[in-house]
Structure 1
Amino acid sequence: MMHVLTPAEKLAKKQLIAASASKLFQKHNFNAISMAQIARESGVAKGTLFNYFKTKENIFMYLLLSGYQDYLQEVLKRWQEKPGLTTWNELTTFLTTENHLLIHQKADLLRLNALRGPILEAAADREQTLLGRQKLYQINRDLGRAIASRIPELSVKDASHLFVIQSAIISGLMNMMNLDEFNHDQLPVDFKVFQIDLETEANQLLKFYLQGLQQELED
Protein backbone atom coordinates (compact mmCIF):
# COMPACT_ATOMS: atom_id res chain seq x y z
CA MET A 1 0.00 0.00 0.00
CA MET A 2 1.46 3.37 -1.02
CA HIS A 3 2.19 5.70 1.86
CA VAL A 4 0.42 9.05 1.51
CA LEU A 5 2.40 11.87 3.07
CA THR A 6 0.76 13.98 5.73
CA PRO A 7 0.82 17.80 5.37
CA ALA A 8 3.61 17.92 7.98
CA GLU A 9 5.64 15.33 6.04
CA LYS A 10 5.12 17.26 2.80
CA LEU A 11 6.30 20.46 4.44
CA ALA A 12 9.36 18.67 5.85
CA LYS A 13 10.20 17.33 2.38
CA LYS A 14 9.78 20.78 0.86
CA GLN A 15 12.05 22.32 3.47
CA LEU A 16 14.64 19.56 2.92
CA ILE A 17 14.72 20.36 -0.81
CA ALA A 18 15.02 24.08 -0.12
CA ALA A 19 17.78 23.53 2.45
CA SER A 20 19.69 21.40 -0.07
CA ALA A 21 19.41 24.14 -2.70
CA SER A 22 20.61 26.67 -0.14
CA LYS A 23 23.64 24.50 0.61
CA LEU A 24 24.52 24.40 -3.08
CA PHE A 25 24.01 28.17 -3.36
CA GLN A 26 26.67 28.71 -0.69
CA LYS A 27 29.22 27.12 -3.03
CA HIS A 28 27.99 27.92 -6.54
CA ASN A 29 26.40 30.68 -8.57
CA PHE A 30 22.69 30.35 -9.35
CA ASN A 31 23.29 29.57 -13.04
CA ALA A 32 25.67 26.73 -12.16
CA ILE A 33 23.03 24.87 -10.10
CA SER A 34 20.68 22.41 -11.80
CA MET A 35 17.50 20.72 -10.65
CA ALA A 36 19.32 17.38 -10.98
CA GLN A 37 21.99 18.59 -8.54
CA ILE A 38 19.35 19.74 -6.08
CA ALA A 39 17.60 16.37 -6.32
CA ARG A 40 20.86 14.53 -5.64
CA GLU A 41 21.77 16.84 -2.74
CA SER A 42 18.36 16.39 -1.13
CA GLY A 43 18.22 12.64 -1.77
CA VAL A 44 14.92 12.71 -3.66
CA ALA A 45 14.06 11.55 -7.15
CA LYS A 46 14.03 14.27 -9.79
CA GLY A 47 10.37 13.54 -10.47
CA THR A 48 9.57 14.00 -6.79
CA LEU A 49 11.42 17.30 -6.80
CA PHE A 50 9.14 18.62 -9.54
CA ASN A 51 6.09 17.70 -7.44
CA TYR A 52 7.22 20.32 -4.92
CA PHE A 53 8.86 22.93 -7.14
CA LYS A 54 8.14 23.19 -10.85
CA THR A 55 11.22 25.31 -11.55
CA LYS A 56 14.58 26.09 -10.01
CA GLU A 57 13.43 29.70 -9.69
CA ASN A 58 10.52 28.53 -7.51
CA ILE A 59 12.97 26.95 -5.07
CA PHE A 60 15.10 30.04 -4.76
CA MET A 61 12.11 32.39 -4.53
CA TYR A 62 10.87 30.19 -1.67
CA LEU A 63 14.30 30.46 -0.04
CA LEU A 64 14.30 34.23 -0.47
CA LEU A 65 10.84 34.83 0.99
CA SER A 66 11.14 32.31 3.83
CA GLY A 67 14.63 33.65 4.56
CA TYR A 68 13.37 37.22 4.92
CA GLN A 69 10.44 35.99 7.03
CA ASP A 70 12.88 34.28 9.39
CA TYR A 71 15.17 37.32 9.43
CA LEU A 72 12.40 39.76 10.35
CA GLN A 73 11.17 37.38 13.05
CA GLU A 74 14.70 37.42 14.46
CA VAL A 75 14.75 41.25 14.32
CA LEU A 76 11.40 41.37 16.15
CA LYS A 77 12.73 39.07 18.84
CA ARG A 78 15.89 41.17 19.28
CA TRP A 79 13.78 44.34 19.52
CA GLN A 80 11.49 42.77 22.12
CA GLU A 81 14.53 41.68 24.14
CA LYS A 82 15.61 45.35 24.44
CA PRO A 83 12.58 47.11 26.01
CA GLY A 84 14.73 50.10 26.95
CA LEU A 85 15.16 51.25 23.33
CA THR A 86 12.86 54.26 23.05
CA THR A 87 14.77 57.08 21.33
CA TRP A 88 15.72 57.88 17.74
CA ASN A 89 19.43 57.52 18.54
CA GLU A 90 18.84 54.09 20.06
CA LEU A 91 16.70 53.08 17.07
CA THR A 92 19.49 54.21 14.72
CA THR A 93 22.06 52.15 16.63
CA PHE A 94 19.74 49.14 16.58
CA LEU A 95 19.21 49.40 12.82
CA THR A 96 22.90 49.84 11.98
CA THR A 97 23.62 46.78 14.12
CA GLU A 98 21.01 44.94 12.05
CA ASN A 99 22.87 46.08 8.91
CA HIS A 100 25.99 44.39 10.27
CA LEU A 101 24.14 41.16 11.02
CA LEU A 102 22.39 41.13 7.65
CA ILE A 103 25.58 41.78 5.69
CA HIS A 104 27.81 39.38 7.59
CA GLN A 105 25.42 36.61 8.65
CA LYS A 106 22.84 36.64 5.84
CA ALA A 107 25.06 37.11 2.79
CA ASP A 108 23.27 34.37 0.83
CA LEU A 109 19.93 36.05 1.49
CA LEU A 110 21.30 39.29 0.04
CA ARG A 111 22.61 37.38 -3.00
CA LEU A 112 19.16 35.89 -3.50
CA ASN A 113 17.53 39.29 -3.24
CA ALA A 114 19.75 40.53 -6.06
CA LEU A 115 18.35 37.73 -8.26
CA ARG A 116 14.68 38.38 -7.49
CA GLY A 117 13.74 40.94 -10.14
CA PRO A 118 16.01 40.05 -13.07
CA ILE A 119 15.93 36.24 -12.73
CA LEU A 120 13.62 34.60 -10.18
CA GLU A 121 10.34 36.33 -11.02
CA ALA A 122 10.56 35.27 -14.67
CA ALA A 123 9.94 31.61 -13.84
CA ALA A 124 8.71 31.51 -10.24
CA ASP A 125 5.14 30.49 -9.43
CA ARG A 126 2.90 33.55 -9.03
CA GLU A 127 0.56 32.09 -6.38
CA GLN A 128 3.40 30.65 -4.30
CA THR A 129 5.22 34.00 -4.46
CA LEU A 130 2.07 35.91 -3.47
CA LEU A 131 1.52 33.64 -0.47
CA GLY A 132 5.13 34.11 0.63
CA ARG A 133 4.91 37.87 0.26
CA GLN A 134 1.69 38.00 2.25
CA LYS A 135 3.40 36.18 5.12
CA LEU A 136 6.40 38.49 4.83
CA TYR A 137 4.13 41.56 4.82
CA GLN A 138 2.39 40.44 8.01
CA ILE A 139 5.67 39.82 9.83
CA ASN A 140 6.94 43.20 8.66
CA ARG A 141 3.76 44.86 9.99
CA ASP A 142 4.17 43.09 13.34
CA LEU A 143 7.72 44.41 13.55
CA GLY A 144 6.53 47.89 12.58
CA ARG A 145 3.91 47.87 15.34
CA ALA A 146 6.49 46.81 17.92
CA ILE A 147 8.84 49.64 16.95
CA ALA A 148 6.12 52.30 16.58
CA SER A 149 4.79 51.47 20.06
CA ARG A 150 8.05 52.82 21.54
CA ILE A 151 8.94 55.61 19.13
CA PRO A 152 5.89 57.92 19.31
CA GLU A 153 6.74 59.94 16.19
CA LEU A 154 6.75 56.82 14.00
CA SER A 155 3.58 55.38 12.48
CA VAL A 156 3.33 51.63 11.97
CA LYS A 157 3.68 52.24 8.23
CA ASP A 158 6.86 54.30 8.65
CA ALA A 159 8.36 51.79 11.09
CA SER A 160 7.55 48.85 8.79
CA HIS A 161 9.00 50.73 5.83
CA LEU A 162 12.40 51.01 7.56
CA PHE A 163 13.20 47.42 6.62
CA VAL A 164 12.22 47.96 3.00
CA ILE A 165 14.64 50.90 2.97
CA GLN A 166 17.32 48.80 4.66
CA SER A 167 17.04 46.10 2.00
CA ALA A 168 16.92 48.64 -0.85
CA ILE A 169 20.07 50.41 0.36
CA ILE A 170 22.11 47.23 0.78
CA SER A 171 20.87 45.66 -2.47
CA GLY A 172 21.54 48.86 -4.39
CA LEU A 173 25.08 49.13 -3.09
CA MET A 174 25.73 45.45 -3.78
CA ASN A 175 24.54 45.95 -7.36
CA MET A 176 27.16 48.69 -7.83
CA MET A 177 30.03 46.82 -6.18
CA ASN A 178 32.92 45.28 -8.09
CA LEU A 179 32.66 47.57 -11.12
CA ASP A 180 36.45 47.31 -11.20
CA GLU A 181 36.08 43.61 -12.03
CA PHE A 182 34.70 41.64 -14.98
CA ASN A 183 33.66 38.01 -14.51
CA HIS A 184 35.65 37.99 -11.24
CA ASP A 185 38.83 39.24 -12.95
CA GLN A 186 40.36 42.57 -11.94
CA LEU A 187 40.24 45.11 -14.77
CA PRO A 188 43.62 46.72 -15.63
CA VAL A 189 42.34 50.18 -14.66
CA ASP A 190 42.36 52.03 -11.33
CA PHE A 191 38.64 52.53 -10.57
CA LYS A 192 38.90 53.77 -6.99
CA VAL A 193 35.58 55.61 -7.16
CA PHE A 194 33.83 52.29 -7.85
CA GLN A 195 35.15 50.69 -4.67
CA ILE A 196 32.44 50.36 -2.01
CA ASP A 197 32.70 49.53 1.67
CA LEU A 198 29.29 47.89 1.91
CA GLU A 199 28.63 48.10 5.65
CA THR A 200 30.07 51.60 6.13
CA GLU A 201 28.16 53.11 3.24
CA ALA A 202 24.94 51.22 4.01
CA ASN A 203 25.08 52.66 7.54
CA GLN A 204 25.72 56.17 6.24
CA LEU A 205 22.78 56.04 3.86
CA LEU A 206 20.48 54.57 6.48
CA LYS A 207 21.46 57.30 8.95
CA PHE A 208 20.79 59.99 6.32
CA TYR A 209 17.36 58.47 5.72
CA LEU A 210 16.56 58.33 9.44
CA GLN A 211 17.73 61.90 10.00
CA GLY A 212 15.56 63.14 7.14
CA LEU A 213 12.56 61.12 8.32
CA GLN A 214 12.93 62.39 11.89
CA GLN A 215 13.13 66.00 10.72
CA GLU A 216 10.10 65.55 8.47
CA LEU A 217 8.01 64.03 11.27
CA GLU A 218 9.00 66.70 13.79
CA ASP A 219 8.26 69.67 11.48
Structure 2
Amino acid sequence: MMYVLTPKEKEAKKQLIAAAASKLFQKNDFNQISMAQIAHESGVAKGTLFNYFKTKENIFMYLLLSGYQDYLTEVLQRFQKTENITSWADFSSFILEQNHLLISQRTDLLRLNALRGPILETAADREQTLAGRKKLYEINRKLGQAIAERISLLSVKQASHLFIIQSAIISGLMNMMNLDEFHHDQLPVDFKVFQIDLEQEANQLMLFYLQGLEQKLEGAK
Protein backbone atom coordinates (compact mmCIF):
# COMPACT_ATOMS: atom_id res chain seq x y z
CA MET A 1 0.00 0.00 0.00
CA MET A 2 1.40 3.38 -1.03
CA TYR A 3 2.02 5.82 1.82
CA VAL A 4 0.18 9.11 1.34
CA LEU A 5 1.68 12.22 2.90
CA THR A 6 -0.46 14.22 5.29
CA PRO A 7 -1.13 17.92 4.47
CA LYS A 8 1.40 18.86 7.17
CA GLU A 9 4.05 16.57 5.63
CA LYS A 10 3.33 17.97 2.16
CA GLU A 11 3.77 21.51 3.42
CA ALA A 12 7.06 20.53 5.11
CA LYS A 13 8.29 19.02 1.81
CA LYS A 14 7.28 22.19 -0.04
CA GLN A 15 9.20 24.32 2.45
CA LEU A 16 12.22 22.03 2.12
CA ILE A 17 12.26 22.53 -1.65
CA ALA A 18 11.81 26.29 -1.33
CA ALA A 19 14.63 26.52 1.23
CA ALA A 20 16.95 24.58 -1.09
CA ALA A 21 16.16 26.94 -3.99
CA SER A 22 16.75 29.94 -1.74
CA LYS A 23 20.12 28.56 -0.67
CA LEU A 24 21.18 28.11 -4.29
CA PHE A 25 19.98 31.63 -5.15
CA GLN A 26 22.25 33.11 -2.50
CA LYS A 27 25.31 31.99 -4.49
CA ASN A 28 24.03 31.82 -8.08
CA ASP A 29 22.09 33.82 -10.64
CA PHE A 30 18.59 32.63 -11.45
CA ASN A 31 19.59 31.40 -14.93
CA GLN A 32 22.38 29.26 -13.46
CA ILE A 33 20.00 27.24 -11.28
CA SER A 34 18.26 24.16 -12.65
CA MET A 35 15.40 22.05 -11.33
CA ALA A 36 17.86 19.15 -11.09
CA GLN A 37 20.09 21.21 -8.79
CA ILE A 38 17.13 22.17 -6.61
CA ALA A 39 16.05 18.53 -6.38
CA HIS A 40 19.58 17.47 -5.43
CA GLU A 41 19.97 20.25 -2.85
CA SER A 42 16.64 19.41 -1.23
CA GLY A 43 17.17 15.65 -1.34
CA VAL A 44 13.94 15.21 -3.30
CA ALA A 45 13.58 13.16 -6.48
CA LYS A 46 13.20 15.34 -9.57
CA GLY A 47 9.87 13.72 -10.36
CA THR A 48 8.62 14.49 -6.86
CA LEU A 49 9.79 18.09 -7.20
CA PHE A 50 7.39 18.63 -10.10
CA ASN A 51 4.49 17.47 -7.92
CA TYR A 52 5.03 20.59 -5.80
CA PHE A 53 6.28 23.13 -8.34
CA LYS A 54 5.67 22.71 -12.07
CA THR A 55 8.40 25.17 -13.06
CA LYS A 56 11.50 26.79 -11.64
CA GLU A 57 9.76 30.16 -12.01
CA ASN A 58 6.99 28.87 -9.78
CA ILE A 59 9.45 28.07 -7.00
CA PHE A 60 11.01 31.51 -7.10
CA MET A 61 7.65 33.29 -7.35
CA TYR A 62 6.68 31.40 -4.19
CA LEU A 63 9.92 32.54 -2.54
CA LEU A 64 9.25 36.13 -3.56
CA LEU A 65 5.67 36.25 -2.29
CA SER A 66 6.27 34.28 0.91
CA GLY A 67 9.41 36.35 1.53
CA TYR A 68 7.50 39.62 1.31
CA GLN A 69 4.75 38.17 3.49
CA ASP A 70 7.36 37.37 6.14
CA TYR A 71 9.02 40.78 5.77
CA LEU A 72 5.78 42.76 6.19
CA THR A 73 4.75 40.55 9.10
CA GLU A 74 8.07 41.37 10.79
CA VAL A 75 7.57 45.10 10.09
CA LEU A 76 4.11 44.89 11.68
CA GLN A 77 5.52 43.15 14.76
CA ARG A 78 8.30 45.72 15.11
CA PHE A 79 5.83 48.58 14.77
CA GLN A 80 3.50 47.11 17.39
CA LYS A 81 6.39 46.63 19.82
CA THR A 82 7.65 50.20 19.35
CA GLU A 83 4.82 51.97 21.13
CA ASN A 84 6.50 55.40 21.19
CA ILE A 85 5.97 55.92 17.43
CA THR A 86 3.24 58.56 17.42
CA SER A 87 4.65 61.56 15.52
CA TRP A 88 5.48 61.88 11.83
CA ALA A 89 9.19 62.29 12.67
CA ASP A 90 9.16 59.07 14.72
CA PHE A 91 7.36 57.26 11.93
CA SER A 92 9.82 58.53 9.30
CA SER A 93 12.72 57.21 11.38
CA PHE A 94 10.96 53.86 11.67
CA ILE A 95 10.50 53.63 7.89
CA LEU A 96 14.19 54.40 7.28
CA GLU A 97 15.13 51.67 9.75
CA GLN A 98 12.98 49.25 7.73
CA ASN A 99 14.93 50.33 4.63
CA HIS A 100 18.12 49.33 6.42
CA LEU A 101 16.77 45.94 7.44
CA LEU A 102 15.34 45.21 3.98
CA ILE A 103 18.59 46.14 2.21
CA SER A 104 20.97 44.52 4.69
CA GLN A 105 19.03 41.36 5.53
CA ARG A 106 16.74 40.72 2.53
CA THR A 107 19.02 41.19 -0.47
CA ASP A 108 17.77 37.99 -2.10
CA LEU A 109 14.19 39.22 -1.82
CA LEU A 110 15.11 42.41 -3.65
CA ARG A 111 16.88 40.41 -6.36
CA LEU A 112 13.80 38.23 -6.78
CA ASN A 113 11.57 41.29 -7.06
CA ALA A 114 13.62 42.46 -10.04
CA LEU A 115 12.88 39.12 -11.77
CA ARG A 116 9.13 39.10 -11.14
CA GLY A 117 7.75 40.85 -14.23
CA PRO A 118 10.21 39.95 -16.98
CA ILE A 119 11.05 36.39 -15.91
CA LEU A 120 8.99 34.79 -13.13
CA GLU A 121 5.55 35.69 -14.46
CA THR A 122 6.31 34.06 -17.81
CA ALA A 123 6.10 30.54 -16.36
CA ALA A 124 4.76 30.78 -12.80
CA ASP A 125 1.38 29.24 -12.01
CA ARG A 126 -1.32 31.91 -12.23
CA GLU A 127 -3.59 30.53 -9.50
CA GLN A 128 -0.79 29.88 -7.02
CA THR A 129 0.57 33.37 -7.67
CA LEU A 130 -2.87 34.90 -7.12
CA ALA A 131 -3.27 33.01 -3.83
CA GLY A 132 0.13 34.26 -2.68
CA ARG A 133 -0.68 37.83 -3.65
CA LYS A 134 -3.96 37.71 -1.74
CA LYS A 135 -2.07 36.69 1.40
CA LEU A 136 0.45 39.47 0.80
CA TYR A 137 -2.33 42.01 0.26
CA GLU A 138 -4.00 41.03 3.52
CA ILE A 139 -0.77 41.35 5.51
CA ASN A 140 -0.05 44.71 3.89
CA ARG A 141 -3.56 45.89 4.78
CA LYS A 142 -3.13 44.83 8.43
CA LEU A 143 0.16 46.73 8.56
CA GLY A 144 -1.46 49.81 7.06
CA GLN A 145 -4.31 49.57 9.56
CA ALA A 146 -1.92 49.39 12.51
CA ILE A 147 0.01 52.42 11.27
CA ALA A 148 -3.10 54.48 10.50
CA GLU A 149 -4.44 53.90 14.02
CA ARG A 150 -1.38 55.65 15.45
CA ILE A 151 -0.38 58.14 12.73
CA SER A 152 -3.53 60.21 12.35
CA LEU A 153 -2.53 61.89 9.07
CA LEU A 154 -2.49 58.56 7.23
CA SER A 155 -5.39 56.48 5.98
CA VAL A 156 -5.06 52.69 5.87
CA LYS A 157 -4.61 52.85 2.10
CA GLN A 158 -1.90 55.52 2.30
CA ALA A 159 -0.02 53.66 5.05
CA SER A 160 -0.17 50.38 3.12
CA HIS A 161 0.97 52.12 -0.05
CA LEU A 162 4.19 53.30 1.61
CA PHE A 163 5.65 49.80 1.40
CA ILE A 164 4.98 49.64 -2.33
CA ILE A 165 6.85 52.94 -2.64
CA GLN A 166 9.67 51.52 -0.51
CA SER A 167 10.03 48.49 -2.78
CA ALA A 168 9.84 50.64 -5.92
CA ILE A 169 12.57 53.00 -4.72
CA ILE A 170 14.99 50.26 -3.67
CA SER A 171 14.34 48.03 -6.70
CA GLY A 172 14.69 51.00 -9.07
CA LEU A 173 18.03 51.97 -7.58
CA MET A 174 19.25 48.37 -7.69
CA ASN A 175 18.46 48.23 -11.41
CA MET A 176 20.79 51.18 -11.98
CA MET A 177 23.59 49.94 -9.74
CA ASN A 178 26.83 48.41 -11.01
CA LEU A 179 26.59 49.76 -14.57
CA ASP A 180 30.38 49.60 -14.55
CA GLU A 181 30.08 45.79 -14.37
CA PHE A 182 28.80 43.14 -16.78
CA HIS A 183 27.78 39.76 -15.34
CA HIS A 184 29.81 40.54 -12.18
CA ASP A 185 32.95 41.43 -14.20
CA GLN A 186 34.39 44.94 -13.97
CA LEU A 187 34.23 46.85 -17.27
CA PRO A 188 37.21 49.01 -18.37
CA VAL A 189 35.30 52.25 -17.71
CA ASP A 190 35.05 54.97 -15.08
CA PHE A 191 31.34 55.55 -14.47
CA LYS A 192 31.46 57.55 -11.24
CA VAL A 193 27.95 58.96 -11.75
CA PHE A 194 26.55 55.41 -11.83
CA GLN A 195 28.08 54.44 -8.49
CA ILE A 196 25.30 54.21 -5.90
CA ASP A 197 25.28 53.82 -2.14
CA LEU A 198 22.01 51.88 -2.11
CA GLU A 199 20.91 52.49 1.47
CA GLN A 200 21.93 56.14 1.53
CA GLU A 201 20.15 56.91 -1.76
CA ALA A 202 17.06 54.87 -0.80
CA ASN A 203 16.79 56.67 2.54
CA GLN A 204 17.15 60.06 0.91
CA LEU A 205 14.44 59.35 -1.67
CA MET A 206 12.11 57.83 0.92
CA LEU A 207 12.60 60.84 3.19
CA PHE A 208 11.81 63.22 0.31
CA TYR A 209 8.64 61.23 -0.37
CA LEU A 210 7.59 61.24 3.30
CA GLN A 211 8.23 64.97 3.66
CA GLY A 212 6.21 65.73 0.55
CA LEU A 213 3.40 63.45 1.68
CA GLU A 214 3.28 65.09 5.11
CA GLN A 215 3.03 68.56 3.55
CA LYS A 216 0.28 67.41 1.20
CA LEU A 217 -1.75 65.80 3.99
CA GLU A 218 -1.27 68.74 6.36
CA GLY A 219 -2.41 71.10 3.61
CA ALA A 220 -5.53 69.05 2.99
CA LYS A 221 -6.69 69.28 6.62
Query: What TM-score do the two structures reach when normalised by structure 2?
Result: 0.98
The answer on 1:47 being equivalent to 2:47 is yes
Question: In the aligned structure 1, how far is the partner of 2:184 from the partner of 2:156?
Answer: 42
Give the C-alpha shift of residue 185 in structure 1.
2.0
Question: In the aligned structure 2, how far is the partner of 1:201 from the partner of 1:55?
Answer: 36
Question: In the aligned structure 2, how far is the partner of 1:87 from the partner of 1:166?
Answer: 20
The answer on 1:88 being equivalent to 2:91 is no
Structure 2 residue aligned with 1:179: 179
Percent identical among aligned pairs is 79
Structure 1 residue aligned with 2:127: 127
Amino acid at match of 1:46: K
Amino acid at match of 2:206: L
Structure 1 residue aligned with 2:199: 199
Amino acid at match of 1:213: L
The answer on 1:58 being equivalent to 2:58 is yes
Structure 2 residue aligned with 1:208: 208
Amino acid at match of 2:41: E
Question: In the aligned structure 2, how far is the partner of 1:42 from the partner of 1:76?
Answer: 31
Q: How does 1:9-48 map to 2 (within 5 A)?
A: 9-48=9-48
CA RMSD of aligned residues (A): 0.6
| Corresponding residue SS for 1:154 | coil
Question: In the aligned structure 1, how far is the partner of 2:200 from the partner of 2:111?
Answer: 18
Q: Deviations over 1:21-52 (max 9, x none)?
A: 00111111110100000001111110100000
Give the C-alpha shift of residue 190 in structure 1.
1.4
Q: Deviations over 1:113-137 (max 9, x none)?
A: 1111111000000000000000000
Give the C-alpha shift of residue 180 in structure 1.
1.2
Work out the number of aligned pairs and report it: 219
Structure 1 residue aligned with 2:140: 140
Give the C-alpha shift of residue 189 in structure 1.
1.9
Amino acid at match of 1:149: E
Question: In the aligned structure 1, how far is the partner of 2:184 from the partner of 2:20?
Answer: 26
Q: Which moved more, 1:182-191 or 1:88-97?
A: 182-191
Give the C-alpha shift of residue 150 in structure 1.
0.4
Question: In the aligned structure 1, how far is the partner of 2:181 from the partner of 2:14?
Answer: 37
Question: In the aligned structure 2, how far is the partner of 1:189 from the partner of 1:42?
Answer: 41
Structure 2, unaligned runs of 5 or more: none
Question: In the aligned structure 1, how far is the partner of 2:22 from the partner of 2:217?
Answer: 41
